[in-house]
């Protein structure tokens, strides 16, 4: 009887090498597909200027489309909803920064209405996003 020899040859540990391999493949797939996610759902063509400043780093993004559509952090909102949500953010953080991305073909009136709503919400730090020529 060689039962003692069989017990000594029995592997009791778990081989985690396949688990690590699968995890690495999933991580690589996630990293590759994450680059395809667009920054914003609203297609905005920014105006081009000769000089440009860096955008404020932690900022709330507001996009204004050619036809007047407004998106707050990729979600459709009306002008009144925008003012209410930004007002709430301004109460929580008085130093909140807003980055406005307005399409170059948007009327000046729509941009002025948007900026007015942001100012009425209590935000004083507003930046306009542009592209460099």
Please indicate, yes or no, if residue 65 is contained in any of the structural domains.
yes
Secondary structure tally for the chain: helices H, strands E:
4, 7
**Shared domain check, 113 and 60:** yes
Q: Of 49, 62, 64, give the one whose Cα is nearest residue 106.
A: 64
Please indicate, yes or no, if residue 103 is contained in any of the structural domains.
yes
Tell me the whole-structure pTM to 2 decimals. 0.59
* pLDDT tens by residue, 86-129: 999 888 888 888 888 888 888 888 988 999 999 988 888 888 88
Structural domain span for residue 95: 48-132
* pLDDT tens by residue, 5-42: 656 677 677 788 888 999 999 999 888 877 665 444 55
Q: Of 106, 112, 41, give the one whose Cα is nearest residue 74.
A: 41
**Shared domain check, 83 and 23:** no
**Shared domain check, 59 and 123:** yes
CA distances from 89 to 17, 23, 65, 83, 95 (A): 47, 38, 23, 10, 9
User: Reduced to 3 states, what is the DSSP secondary structure of residue 97?
Assistant: strand
């Amino acid at each position: 009887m060689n039962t003692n020899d069989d017990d000594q040859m029995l592997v009791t540990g778990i081989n985690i090498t396949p688990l690590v391999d699968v995890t690495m493949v999933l991580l690589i797939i996630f990293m590759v597909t994450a680059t395809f996610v667009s920054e914003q759902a609203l297609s905005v063509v920014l105006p081009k200027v000769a000089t440009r400043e860096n955008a404020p780093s932690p900022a709330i993004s507001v996009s204004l489309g050619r036809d007047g559509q407004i998106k707050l952090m990729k979600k459709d909102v009306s002008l009144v909803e925008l003012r209410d949500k930004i007002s709430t953010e301004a109460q929580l953080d008085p130093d909140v920064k807003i980055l406005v991305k307005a399409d170059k073909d948007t009327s000046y009136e729509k941009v002025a209405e948007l900026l007015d709503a942001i100012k009425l919400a209590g935000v004083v730090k507003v930046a306009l996003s542009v592209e460099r020529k």
